[in-house]
Amino acid sequence: MVELAGERVEFGARDVWRSPSPLSGTIHLPQRPFELDCGLNLPEVQVAYEIVGPSNAPVVAVLGGISATRFVAGGIDNSAARPKGWWSDLCGPGQALDSNRYRILSWDFLGGNGATTGPRSSEYAGKTFLDITTGDQARVLAELLPILGISSLHALVGASYGGMIALAFGARFPNLVKRLLVISAAHRSAPLAVAWRTIQRQIVSFGLSENRGGEALALARALGMATYRTPDEFAQRFGGTRLDAHDPDSFPIWDYLRARGEDYVKHMDPHAFLCLSRSIDLHEADPQKICVPTTVVAVRQDQLVPLALLEELADAHAGSCELQVIDSLYGHDAFLKEPTFFSRLLRCL
């Protein structure tokens, strides 16, 4: 009999194991130097990770957009030191992705805003970071698993940027994952989305050159929010005349976008934004090399990831691939705003 970590409790007709406290920390990957797809390398890579759930339960890795952190699950730690999980309404004890039944793994992205090696690391602070691809992120995961004693993943769930990493991982390391769930992410970026993100990066780069990186990032985020959501949502929520006769641009929609931008600057480093935004546009994963069973979720109203691109992905996929199409007023942000649908989906893993 295998002894599991945690306390056994009755749940319906089956025994399950209550999740122990999350394991969280930083480790150094064994590959030194860490070779990047761009042809350059990093002397070493430190990875900040968190894993929640019984020690012998199947492992599900969960990745979100470029702003997501290693803290995914909710309801597991009430200490002020741990932020609320970014998918806490779907992941955690008793949730759709139940940390009593699965181990939920995530990590801060390489080149990103967290404690993994990136622009916020002391040796790179204030500098332009090297080009990082989704393939590089996939290799981080492949090296992280054996260090944590994990032979393979039960599933890899990725939304937005995380979905791109899931596709890259499936193409490069099919023996390390049994199933992919890819949400609002394709095998390559759409040209119009690349255009929008390039404009955002140019805004941030110009701001940094003028020592106004925070202000520039706020503007870039405001532009980004206009692409994440849908015209119908904005039409329903915003209208009317200016809020302040003394401010020529005080339209309700701008008041909202400006607030979102100002809030973003509080927790995102401009150089990390540049690195991961560019990583999205560098992304390529050959669907013909992905044989892992995959479920792809497309949002019909998504302005960043067109349905036609996801249909192309599903058609070219080398293995079993199911395409599910939903309608959402929230567009690209549907995975954060449609808990009923995604709860049903995660319960099927």
Catalytic residue numbers read: 160, 302, 332
- Asked if the peptide bond before residue 339 counts as cis, ω within 30 degrees of 0, the response is no
Quick check: 106 and 60 in contact, CB under 8 A?
Answer: no
Nearest C-alpha neighbor of 302 from the set 294, 311, 293? 311
Looking at the chain, which runs of residues are DSSP E strands?
Answer: 8-11, 14-17, 23-28, 34-35, 41-42, 46-52, 59-63, 91-92, 97-98, 103-107, 155-159, 180-183, 294-299, 321-326
Distance between CA atoms of residues 153 and 104, nearest Å: 10
User: Per residue, what are the HEC states of 309-329?
Assistant: HHHHHHHHCCCCEEEEEECCC
331 phi, psi to nearest 5 deg: 60, -130
Q: What is the rounded distance in angstroms from the CA atom of residue 323 to the CA atom of residue 298?
A: 7
Task: Work out the angle between the directed axes of helices 270-282 and 161-172 (0-180°, nearest 10).
Answer: 50
Closest CA to 263 of 197, 218, 302: 218
Helix axes 191-209, 270-282, angle to 10 degrees: 160
Q: Determine how many CB atoms are found less than 10 A away from the CB of residue 226.
A: 16
User: What is residue 222's DSSP assignment?
Assistant: H
The encoded tokens of residue 165 equal: 């990493």
d(CA 333, CA 125): 30
Residue bearing tokens 């009317």 = 240
